[in-house]
Amino acid sequence: MYRDSKKEETATRKMYELKQTGSAIVYITEFQMLSVQVDWNKKGLMSQYKKGLKSKVLDALVLIEDSKNMQELINKVVKINNRIYQREQANKGNIRQIPVKKAPQQTARQWYKGPEPMDFSSTQES
């Protein structure tokens, strides 16, 4: 198949320059659009993909087992990125809180049928 060498050079340069600055999904999309324009093997694509990730994502990625293929790597990165984002939002207090249903308030001593306790608040010390 004939490849446009100028187009491939441009895509290669853009891949080397590509960095994740926002969501993992945006980075993945941009990377995949460029990867179809170059003639790289799986190992080279996966290596370059990792190099462009945010440092927090890359730090978390090194703690887990290496991916066997690009799709597995992408799935791991999306999961890690989402967890980091959720954690950052929680630290900022921006996570929407799920309302907790409160138990209905009981009236005082509803179960007690005996005499009421004495109120000493109005007594004076001698």
In this prediction, residue 92 carries a pLDDT of 86
Residue reference for tokens 């990165």: 77
Q: Cβ neighbours of residue 60 under 8 Å, at least 6 residues apart?
A: 80, 83, 84
pLDDT in tens, the chain (126 residues): 456 789 999 999 999 999 999 999 999 999 999 999 999 999 999 999 999 999 999 999 999 999 999 999 999 999 999 999 999 988 888 656 555 555 554 444 455 455 666 666 666 665
Distance CA 84, CA 101 (A): 29
Distance CA 64, CA 75 (A): 13
